[in-house]
Amino acid sequence: MARTNHFNSKIELQRWLKSGVAITILSMSLHSDVVELRTNISSSFELSRAIQYPRVDTSLPEKGHYIITYENKDGEQHNEDVQLNTFNWAYCYEVELDGAKLGCLSDLMEKLSKYEFFWDASLNIHGVKSGNLYVVTPSDPQDLNELIDILKEYSALYALFVKESDNMRENLKTGHPRSKAT
């Protein structure tokens, strides 16, 4: 049976997610005019890590009305030995100008549907939607190569964290988002 919790700050949300050992996240939302959230990460522990990922700052506001819908799951345990390099980062944007779509945010979201990710995006006054994506590193080498190809093709910037010692400056790469007429 699904349950819902409400939080008034990002800190409250993170604390609760870390304590949610035997739950599955069904949805997460933030009531805001300028920030949009999307995730398909069902583990509360992994979602907490994505929100507070140390290598890249999310654009989530410290104060806000966060809502989590979840269900209890018997026997699930989180793994506290998860490495800091389990997420990869991508920056993407999208805007429509004179009938042409610039950027590939919606295309990137579609291509990443088989991967676990957390996404936060903001919409500025000029109609540009931009955001940070944190994608869980796949364990299968073929899936990892496919993820790299997707990030190259659909993100403006991306960084892969293969080793714990990797940092943003050394790993930041430029993607090649395509634009198209709509």
Residue with the bigger pLDDT between 117 and 163: it is 117
What pLDDT shows up at residue 150?
A: 94
Of the listed ranges 4-13, 53-62, 111-120, 161-170, the least confidently predicted one is: 53-62
pLDDT digits (tens, 9 = 90+) for 2-57: 888 888 887 888 788 777 667 777 777 776 655 666 777 777 777 777 776 555 55
Average pLDDT over residues 60-72: 77
Helix H, strand E, coil C: the string for the chain is CEEEEEEEEHHHHHHHHHHCCCEEEEEEEEECCCEEEEECCCEHHHHHHHHCCCCCCCCCCCEEEEEEEEEECCCCCCCCCCCHHHEEEEEEEEEEECCEEEECHHHHHHHHHHCCEEEEEEECCCCCEEEEEEEECCCCHHHHHHHHHHHHHHCCEEECCCCCCCCHHHHEEECCCCCEEC
What local confidence, expressed as pLDDT, does residue 149 receive?
A: 93
